[in-house]
Each structure stands twice: as structure tokens, then as C-alpha cells.
Amino acid sequence: MAALRLAAYAQSPDAFEWLDPRSGHDTDPFNHAIEFMTERFRDDYILSIRELTKQYGDLKAVDDVSLDIEPGEIFALLGPNGAGKTTLISCVTGLITHFQGDVRVAGYDVSEQSHITRRLVGLVPQELKYDAFFNVRDSLRYQGGFFGVEPDDQEVDQLLEAFSLADKADQRTRWLSGGMQRRLMICKALMHDPVLLFLDEPTAGVDVELREELWEYVRRLRERGTTIVLTTHYIEEAEKLADRIGILNDGEIVRVDEQETLMREFGMQRVQVELGAPVPDDLSAELDDLDIERLDEHRLELVYRERRAHQTNERSPVDRLMQTLLDRNLEIESVEGGRTSLEEIFKQLVF
Ligand code: ATP
């Protein structure tokens, strides 16, 4: 399978010497892609977008976006309604063909070489789509045909098994529950074994249990070498899954970074302390460079910016607060801590 082979190649390029384009082995588009990777994998991205603009009349739905996605990552594209996420995905997946800029999948131009890029890319769209006539197994066999993939019953059964749909194989797709439909749509998008999979709001309207199950499937897909770009309004979903986060607003990229970097730059720590005695009035005065708020008679809250202890010689704010409380012989009844969520950071950056 191409995704597996690309992932394997990333780990051990020498083992793929026989795929060197100069050896002239294959002419299949997948193998072209692998040949391309063989030549240029080290310095190229699985998706590279340069100065992409898509305009509807006066509205720039996507405005001068440049973005690189690395092979094997899970990338979350976040943004409020109308930010341009679906438009951007549509430009990459070939649903929108008229745009300005340069978009390449594994080095192939999506405009000039769409016959190749469409085979390399998979899309699970937002809306559930039903097959009017087919049962689950046949809808998968049929789907592969769009990409010239011969029906392989063993592969279909493996996919159904992996997505817990094996017992529904012979059922009409319209009789599946919403959650099963979503899983079937992912299976369909995987039938041609894409190296880059777009999940456009994969868990919209999905209950908590199924959402976690779908997250597990997404992680497994990445393990087998598929690169994943997902859009979501559940910021928690991005927090749980993504290596990197891209934030889009009004068609423009506001920020692209590793989640950990965003957390360090914008994240705040909150520590709430409950004392056995009333919070002393002069505590804030003694620690006047710290952000300490009295919540009620016995409770106080310290808020401070995250930092790594080894990055500075100063004692951490929480350490100083605790030391001061202990020096004053104040009994600490309880301590609760929390960190800014990605959702709060997202709101800071977008609204
Ligand atoms: P959501 O989170 O609501 O799905 P989104 O980030 O995916 O939003 P898009 O669907 O890409 O946003 O839409 C971006 C902007 O482009 C919106 O203002 C939308 O109204 C506009 N738009 C999208 N498709 C068209 C179209 N075919 N014609 C005109 N305007 C469009």
C-alpha cells in the first residue's frame, strides 16, 4: 500500500533503492509518487501550499495562504465558521479548480497533475452521504472503482474490521446509524489508499463515545503512515490529536505552530489554594509581582505564564507562593491546578 510504503521509505530510504526513477520500474501514478519521494523526500513536504487565494466576487475565502504539511503528521486546521477551511481543502482535493497560487501534493501540482494528486489524496467531507442502492461492502468496492482500484474483497473486509463495521457488511448503507455512516465514509476515503487524508469535521454531531473511538482510528491511520489534516470546531479534538495547529481567520493564516509551542507562548497556569485560616490581607503586598487574587475568605488563586524551570534561574511563582504560605505557618487544605486550554488560546488569537 502506498501510504505504508511511503512511511517505510521515510524510515529506511536505502531499502527502496529499487524504486529509483532512473531504474524505470513503474509507470503507475502511485509509484510515480514514490519515485518522486525517492528523489526528493528529504527536502519536500507531503502538501505544500504557496500564496493560495480563492476569491468569490469581492470575498477572499482563502487569502494568500502558504502552508507546508510534513509526511506523517496530524495537522489540525482551526477557524471560526466561514474562515475558509473547507475552501482550502477543496482547492487541494480538486473540488475547486480555479484559484490563484501553487498547491502541490507530494510535489505534484494539483492543477496540472490532478490525475495523480487525486489518487494521493482522500477526503472525508462534512456532510453524511448515503448510497441509495448499495450495501456497505458493495459501496466500498464501488468507491475504489472511481480511482481505478480493482475490488479486493480481502482489503474491503480488513477495512470493515478495522472500523468495526464487519457485522454490517451486508446491510444497506442507508440503514446505518449516523456514527456508522461516518466510519463508512472514512473507509470509503481510504479505499484508494491515499497518502494524505483530509477529515472535514469528522466528529460533527457524534456522541462522546464514538468521538473517542474515531480519534483512536485516526491515530491508527497515522501509525500506518497516512498524513492527516483535520478541521474541527471541537478544539478539544485538536488538542487530543494534532501535532501542529494552523489557525485560519477570514481566509488568512493567523498562526501555525506545534501545539506545545502555542501552549508555552500563550498558556497560563492557574493554581487555587484553600487555606485552613483566612487569606492574610498583606499576602498580595508581600508577593506584589505575582498575580494573586483572593477568591473568598479562605481561597486564593495564582495565575502565571507557563515557562520551563530550566529556562530561568528564578524560582517559579507557585514555588514562591507555597514557600511564603509555609513560612507563615498557614495550613494548606487543598491545592488545585489547571492550564489554559487550547480553546482559550484559540479565542485569544481569533476573537
Ligand atoms: P465552516 O466552519 O462554517 O464550515 P469554513 O471555514 O469551512 O466554515 P468556507 O466554507 O471555506 O468556511 O467558506 C469561506 C467563505 O467563503 C465563507 O464566507 C463562505 O460564505 C464563502 N463561500 C464558500 N463557498 C462559496 C461559494 N461557492 N460561493 C460564494 N461564497 C462561498
CA-closest residue to ligand 1 atom 24: 87
Pocket test for ligand 1, best of 85, 92, 97 (most atoms within 8 A of CB): 85
CA-closest residue to ligand 1 atom 22: 61
User: Which pLDDT does position 208 carry in this prediction?
Assistant: 84
Q: Which sequence spans correspond to the domains of the chain?
A: 2-262, 269-350
Q: What's the topology of domain 269-350? A: Alpha-Beta Plaits (3.30.70)
Ligand 1 pocket check for 79: Cβ under 6 Å? yes
Question: How much of the chain, in percent, has pLDDT values that exceed 70?
Answer: 86
C-alpha cell at 98: 480555479
Ligand 1 pocket check for 82: Cβ under 6 Å? yes
Q: Which ligand 1 atom sits nearest the alpha carbon of residue 126?
A: 4
Ligand 1 centre from 45 Cα, in Å? 26
Residue 26 has pLDDT above 60, yes or no: no
47-56, strands of its sheet edge to edge = 59-69, 47-56, 100-105, 108-109
**Which tens digits make up the pLDDT trace of 135-150?**
999 999 888 888 888 8
Residue 10 confidence class, pLDDT cut points 50, 70, 90: very low
Ligand 1 pocket check for 86: Cβ under 6 Å? yes
C-alpha cell at 217: 482510528
Ligand 1 pocket check for 338: Cβ under 6 Å? no
Ligand 1 pocket check for 27: Cβ under 6 Å? no
Residue 334 confidence class, pLDDT cut points 50, 70, 90: very high
User: Which pLDDT does position 292 carry in this prediction?
Assistant: 94
Ligand 1 pocket check for 83: Cβ under 6 Å? yes
Residue 308 confidence class, pLDDT cut points 50, 70, 90: low
Ligand 1 pocket check for 65: Cβ under 6 Å? no
Ligand 1 pocket check for 351: Cβ under 6 Å? no
**Which tens digits make up the pLDDT trace of 177-228?**
888 888 899 899 988 889 999 999 988 877 788 888 888 889 988 988 899 9
DSSP for 223-271, please give it. HTT-EEEEE-S-HHHHHHH-SEEEEEETTEEEEEEEHHHHHHHH-EEEE
Ligand 1 pocket check for 90: Cβ under 6 Å? no
Average pLDDT of the chain? 85
Q: What is the mean pLDDT of residues 142-171?
A: 87
What's the pTM? 0.80
User: Which pLDDT does position 41 carry in this prediction?
Assistant: 43
Pocket test for ligand 1, best of 60, 86, 93 (most atoms within 8 A of CB): 86
Residue 30 confidence class, pLDDT cut points 50, 70, 90: low
Q: What's the topology of domain 2-262? A: Rossmann fold (3.40.50)
Ligand 1 centre from 90 Cα, in Å? 11
Q: Which ligand 1 atom sits nearest the alpha carbon of residue 80?
A: 2
Ligand 1 centre from 15 Cα, in Å? 44
Would the CATH topology of 2-262 be identical to that of 269-350?
no
